[in-house]
Amino acid sequence: MSDKKITEVEKTGLSRRGFLGATAVTGATLAAGAATVGTSMMSRETLAATDKSALKAHVGPAELDEYYGVWSGGQSGEVRIVGLPSMRELMRIPVFNRCSATGWGHTNESKAILGKSAHLENGDTHHPQASMTDGRYDGRYAFIQDKANTRVARIRLDVMKCDKVTTIPHVQAIHGLHLQRVPSTKLVFACGEFIAPYPNDGKLIDKLDEAEHFTMYSALDAETMEVAWQVIVDGNLDNTSTCFSGKYAVATCYNSEMAFDLAGQMRNERDWLTIFNIPRIEEEVKAGRFITLADSKVPVLDGRKKNGKNTTFTRYVPVPKNPHGAHTSPDGKYFFANGKLSPTVTVIAIDRLDDLFNDKFADEREVVVAEPELGLGPLHTTFDGRGNAYSSLFIDSQVVKWNIEDAIRHYNGEDVNYIRQKVDVHYQPGHLKASLAETRDADGKWLVVLSKFSKDRFLPTGPLRAENDQLFDISGEEMKLVHDGPAFAEPHDIVIIRRDQIQTKRVWDRDDPFFAGALAQAKADGVNLESENKVIRDGNKVRVYMTSIAPAFGLSEFSVNEGDEVTVTVTNLDQIEDLSHGFCVVNHGVSMEISPRQTSSITFIASKPGSHYYYCTWFCHALHMEMAGRMLVRPKA
Ligand code: RUQ
Ligand code: CUA
Ligand code: CA
């Protein structure tokens, strides 16, 4: 598609390395750069080294993985749990999409959690993070954003189900997400990406040039999942990260230009990294120095510079150019802003930020301690806990391993080489993440690189192809590729958690809040879910309670009238691990999971007179096929 473009680039005499430095870089030349990277061949030495590492990555049948990977599912709207190093997919958590197997988006439990956004059936997940205490995973929650419909969701790691969904007010498209790591995850931070007019009620639609546009950085209370506060910023917000003291959060801005078109957004040589001083923001909120907007009670602070003057709680550090990834080294010393349109990653010393906020520096750039040149299109960076950083180079289709302290020495004028190794990846990497790299426990064992294109690496599947999630052994001096993992649309980011840091329940607790609504309704109806099978009529509402024990439902039939609103509540009395049942009514679009000791409920209209089978969808018993019953619907008189 872009062969012509490449020729154009060549004709202008701009080398691939040079043209990104040119001010007039365009999206077309970026794409051309991407297309020039073709298949790479592995050398014989690489193959031999790979064999050894591959052996280490081998997890045999019935062996368990060492790590849980929490994978975003991109525009599939889900989150996936993947075992490492085997890269075997273990579970899918359908957070923002709909799920035929579990009934997510259809059951009453999931609809209650999805709340006012339950009618939206798509999502776009990018950045999972998991809760921490003192900078280490504590196994409570994972969090994930939804760019498509501006939401943030929480996943309970004990049952691996989403239990809260919050729509973020006033902004469009939540992209970056991170959380407080120290002393524990009390706040979750979310970047509103696109600038939008305020108020966005269409009244200014014909003179949008005059409208004030902005976006906001939002903080959610990790327990209640309510929005605690929002800060209006200059520019827009892309990715975010936090320090290891609970004090600072940062977010990249690629649109300092406040432009609405591609060329406009690339005009400036530098955009910036926005820095938030969390204690100072909380002081403002506590002192009541905030505003509220429209129909929301969320405290809003204005963090924009006014007449060149900073607020007490935000700073803008210039970094080149359309920066993307924002990251923190696991020693808590540095923030990193990945240049994207600049071949550099900017390193910022966190211990200089107090002075920055106390106006000790004449120039914000004094917090920058290194800006190594790494290659084309640096998008994200991760860490091995041994002082090395690993950056993805989207355009070069490579990962570069570099040493942070050597990059700082080089910035200070010493003649040192900070680059340790470059490896080809296949192809066009976005995020990459090393095991435990978001925490103090960064152990430098495995690196997962999420490549956006798989091209020739797998059997072709028509025009739409799998992505390629690659696993590298980084425990030695050199990165070694050990595994190609096809993945469906489209993992952006992951976190890798040691398996002992997550304790999952084997069966549901009978009083689990996940199905509290169904328990309360049963109580109000005087039904003992542990033993009773009952049909309760309440006007044209019918509530059907039944148990399930393999291989039978508690009711082999029930009767309703045409047009009734039917709620079926199934309680799985099986205590045995892994013995899930399902409940599906044929031709009614009704299906849900009922795992051991779970209660699940689903409401639908009995619109068709006649006899309709319901059956169990999860293969639970030798007589699973026989696990069925009939809903008898009497026609309207
Ligand atoms: S961010 S690579 Cu980098 Cu959402 Cu996707
Ligand atoms: Cu119960 Cu299949
Ligand atoms: Ca820009």
All residue ranges of the chain with pLDDT < 70 are 1-47, 49-50
145: Cβ–Cβ under 8 A, 6 or more apart, which residues? 125, 126, 127, 151, 152, 153, 174, 175, 176, 177, 190
Closest ligand 2 atom to Cα of 618? 2
**Domain residues of the chain, as ranges?**
513-634
Of the bound ligands, which one is closest to the alpha carbon of residue 432? 1
Kindly provide the b/e burial profile for residues 118-136, where b requires at least 16 CB atoms within 10 angstroms of the residue's own CB: eebeebbbbbbbbbbeebb
- Using DSSP, state whether 364 is helix, strand or coil: helix
Cβ atoms of 452 and 467 closer than 8 Å = yes
634: Cβ–Cβ under 8 A, 6 or more apart, which residues? 559, 560, 561, 562, 609
Q: Is the CB of 321 under 6 A from ligand 1?
A: no
Q: Is this structure's pTM higher than 0.95?
A: no
For ligand 2, the distance from its centroid to the CA atom of residue 252, given in whole angstroms, is 50
Please report the pLDDT score of residue 47 as a whole number. Answer: 64
Hey, CA dihedral for 412, 320, 74, 482, is it positive or negative?
negative
**SS3 per residue for 56-85:** HHCCCCCCCCCEEEEEECECCCCEEEEEEC
Cβ atoms of 519 and 530 closer than 8 Å = no
The single-letter DSSP state of residue 147 is T
For ligand 2, the distance from its centroid to the CA atom of residue 616, given in whole angstroms, is 4
Cβ atoms of 291 and 284 closer than 8 Å = no
pLDDT digits (tens, 9 = 90+) for 329-345: 999 999 999 999 999 99
Residue owning the nearest CA to atom 5 of ligand 1: 492
For ligand 1, the distance from its centroid to the CA atom of residue 494, given in whole angstroms, is 10
Closest ligand 2 atom to Cα of 624? 2
Pairwise CA distance, residues 300 & 217, whole Å: 10
Q: Is the CB of 155 under 6 A from ligand 1?
A: no
Please report the pLDDT score of residue 286 as a whole number. Answer: 98
533: Cβ–Cβ under 8 A, 6 or more apart, which residues? 545, 546, 547, 554, 555
Among 431, 450, 468, 490, name the best residue to mutate to test ligand 1's pocket (greatest count of ligand atoms within 8 A of Cβ). Answer: 431
Pairwise CA distance, residues 486 & 297, whole Å: 44
Q: Is the CB of 620 under 6 A from ligand 2?
A: yes
Please report the pLDDT score of residue 42 as a whole number. Answer: 54
Please report the pLDDT score of residue 590 as a whole number. Answer: 98
The C-alpha angle 584, 588, 591, rounded to 5 degrees, equals 30
CA torsion, points 584, 586, 588, 592, in degrees to nearest 10? Answer: 10
Q: What is the residue type of 552?
A: A
| CA 484 to chain centroid | 21
Residue owning the nearest CA to atom 2 of ligand 1: 430
The C-alpha angle 375, 372, 353, rounded to 5 degrees, equals 135
Of the bound ligands, which one is closest to the alpha carbon of residue 573? 2
CATH of 513-634, one of 1.10.3210.10, 3.30.160.100, 2.60.40.420, 3.40.109.40: 2.60.40.420
Q: Is the CB of 326 under 6 A from ligand 1?
A: no
Please report the pLDDT score of residue 30 as a whole number. Answer: 44
Q: Which residue bears the tokens 């969390």?
A: 278
pLDDT digits (tens, 9 = 90+) for 351-383: 999 999 999 999 999 999 999 999 999 999 999
Q: For residue 538, with 0-12 CB atoms within 10 Å meaning exposed, 13-18 middle and 19 or more buried, which class applies?
A: exposed
